[in-house]
Structure 1
């Protein structure tokens, strides 16, 4: 069943994510041209409004999904996005626009909802690959959306585009309603075993949330300032800086559609530390680079490290996922990632103000080194007392 459901969920998530991920780069244009906001410092605050609200709401919606159904929760998230986009498109002032972003955060969360739903129709390696494809869907939207909306904005005002794009999450909801089956009925002999494992699994989920936080913090730290930093450092055009910005996400997609995605390397216990090491190295290369070619090399290494980390984290997530509490689990992971993004954005701004635009790169490198330490802790804690390194648990 998962093979037929996966394309439906991926397509619906991609359609819904286009607006949610593609419009924030244009917040500055909306605030200055539509609402006559003069101070650009407000752009950063508007950028994190939906992220904070999602971080707050995701655990709640996860518990609701476990109780009332993951398909229902996915439909709720898509309809919630549509409502938020309509409010944003019709907002008469900046306060109403901010409220629309709050609605988007509180009622959205399509990534966690889609992942939880997939856990009801896929297990083990199939779930790992499904989560990898979900990340591919998000990164495709991240690459395509700014280009697509930048093109549309030559004819349509930026704010009004929200109103027209509200049809996209509604289309996503229709796809899920018509083509995705309801949650299968849970229960069975395995549930008692899962209940007995719940206590030890909760500690593993806590460590996994810490890893998600560390990785996402390191990933997002350089996002807000990368393009202006690249232009200042190398004199590149905005188009070239945008290409360099998107390159790691393109590397992820290339590996995802190649046979490499099934490599046994991604199931190795040291996959995540290796990926984080590449990630930290990429930041050092970029922070010390003085030419476009050097930054290009750093972004290529970053793409390899990011892909390795995400594949490893998805494999660990699939290993720990239990259907009976999948909504709560994915909601907690989504919340951890969102809080990491908020913290990274705030600290990157502080670091830039205290130093320069290279500071977020060093901040990302330091955060990655701390996360490597967590991976060692996670690996050791999975061994049984007296178990030798390298032996797998039965």
Structure 2
């Protein structure tokens, strides 16, 4: 138990520094592209989207392969590979001379990345059964908190020392993840050849396969839903604020609100899920988020929107950690790395499609329509999940 807590803390630090480092790219990459000679607004937005999107696509294609290697060589080696690879490539972003070189580096970054998914597999393997959801929920707060702090730190540091120097700092943070993993994690995170779990713990192979595919789809839908609103949230804040003053500040507060409540409540929901079952908490969280997203479409002032974002962060704390806990429950340990690799593909595709579709649908219809669409998606999947898992949830 002592080693489990120590390894959880180390993985938390690694995920935090990785998320903090990579999230700093968001506010400064468009300006960096402009500094390289791209002057037209349309080209800047196109290349910014391409540089982010290509990384997600490469992650989606390569994650199953890294998951397969996780099964063979252990999670520790994958943690080292991802952290060192991302540190190495991010360092060279400081020396590019044109936007094409950024695209190449971001493509290669997508090929080697995957620290967070490797950490999830590692914690899922080493955590005691009675603490699995709590451990995975605690680990998820590292990513959330890193993503919250990163853009703020990145914007400030870029103003003080310049964008190129910031890439060196980001590389150093990623290398810190590599060092902590190398020196403090000794367990390989690999299942012995003779150890396995029965795939069908309910006695129905077909049911578990259906649940497995449903969890992949849920991961995809969750990421689509939460990422669809990110590109348009600032516009929505401007729309309901009816003023040009402090728009950036209010938008930052709105985005940060869900992260703050998630950090607080995710571990608590994890403990509850360990007691009553991850499936029950996941169902409640899906229905809860569906309601909150619909209420987003009715908002008429900033304070109400911030309150709803706080509630949404609570619901998010019961989604991804519970999905990961269900994977641990139904998948043999020897196949866990591969399954999480496919799930990371669903995660990355959800990020990409959500970011693209949110802005497209908002322009075609309205921002309120996007909120309602997400609400319907979450509600439909909540009903489907309830029907699929009715025996275990309502027993």
TM-score by length of 2: 0.89
Match of 2:228 in 1: 221
Q: 1:101 aligned to 89, 97, 106, which one?
A: 106
Match of 1:292 in 2: 302
C-alpha deviation, 1:310, in angstroms: 3.1
C-alpha deviation, 1:294, in angstroms: 2.1
C-alpha deviation, 1:152, in angstroms: 0.4
Q: 2:265 aligned to 255, 271, 286, which one?
A: 255
C-alpha deviation, 1:25, in angstroms: 3.0
C-alpha deviation, 1:268, in angstroms: 6.0
Is the Cα contact below 8 Å between 2:278 and 2:325 reproduced in 1? no
**What does the per-residue CA deviation read over 1:228-278, in whole Å, with 9 as the maximum and x for residues that have no partner?**
221232135311221111111110111246x56423576264322321222
The CA distance in 1 between the partners of 2:306 and 2:76, in whole Å, is 41
**What does the per-residue CA deviation read over 1:187-207, in whole Å, with 9 as the maximum and x for residues that have no partner?**
477527459989554443212
Task: Name the CA shift for 1:99/1:125 in 2 (closer, same or farther; >3 Å).
Answer: farther
C-alpha deviation, 1:52, in angstroms: 1.1
1:174 aligns with 2:179: yes
Q: 1:36 aligned to 35, 38, 46, which one?
A: 38
1:91 aligns with 2:93: no
Is the Cα contact below 8 Å between 1:123 and 1:318 reproduced in 2? no
Mean alpha-carbon deviation: is it higher for 152-161 or for 329-338?
152-161
Mean alpha-carbon deviation: is it higher for 49-58 or for 29-38?
29-38
| Equivalent runs, 1:123-272 vs 2, <5 Å | 123-183=128-188, 186-187=191-192, 191=196, 193-194=198-199, 199-200=205-206, 201-234=208-241, 235=243, 237-256=247-266, 261-263=270-272, 267=277, 269-272=279-282
**What does the per-residue CA deviation read over 1:83-121, in whole Å, with 9 as the maximum and x for residues that have no partner?**
220222211110000111111111011111111122332
C-alpha deviation, 1:349, in angstroms: 2.3
Task: Name the CA shift for 1:105/1:268 in 2 (closer, same or farther; >3 Å).
Answer: closer
Is the Cα contact below 8 Å between 2:137 and 2:317 reproduced in 1? no
Mean alpha-carbon deviation: is it higher for 104-113 or for 311-320?
311-320
The CA distance in 1 between the partners of 2:191 and 2:118, in whole Å, is 18
**What does the per-residue CA deviation read over 1:154-186, in whole Å, with 9 as the maximum and x for residues that have no partner?**
122224411332122222111111110132663
1:13 aligns with 2:23: no
| Equivalent runs, 1:266-281 vs 2, <5 Å | 267=277, 269-281=279-291
Mean alpha-carbon deviation: is it higher for 60-69 or for 153-162?
153-162
The CA distance in 2 between the partners of 1:192 and 1:94, in whole Å, is 48
Match of 1:110 in 2: 115
C-alpha deviation, 1:37, in angstroms: 4.1
How many corresponding residue pairs?
384
Is the Cα contact below 8 Å between 2:124 and 2:132 reproduced in 1? yes
The CA distance in 1 between the partners of 2:135 and 2:371, in whole Å, is 31
Match of 1:329 in 2: 339
C-alpha deviation, 1:21, in angstroms: 2.1
Is the Cα contact below 8 Å between 1:217 and 1:367 reproduced in 2? no
The CA distance in 2 between the partners of 1:184 and 1:44, in whole Å, is 35
The CA distance in 1 between the partners of 2:232 and 2:194, in whole Å, is 52
Structure 2 SS opposite 1:101: helix
TM-score by length of 1: 0.89
Task: Name the CA shift for 1:84/1:363 in 2 (closer, same or farther; >3 Å).
Answer: farther
The CA distance in 1 between the partners of 2:19 and 2:298, in whole Å, is 34
Is the Cα contact below 8 Å between 2:219 and 2:343 reproduced in 1? yes
Match of 1:4 in 2: 6
The CA distance in 1 between the partners of 2:276 and 2:213, in whole Å, is 22
Unpaired runs of at least 5, structure 1: 384-388
Unpaired runs of at least 5, structure 2: none
| Equivalent runs, 1:304-343 vs 2, <5 Å | 304-343=314-353
Is the Cα contact below 8 Å between 2:51 and 2:102 reproduced in 1? no
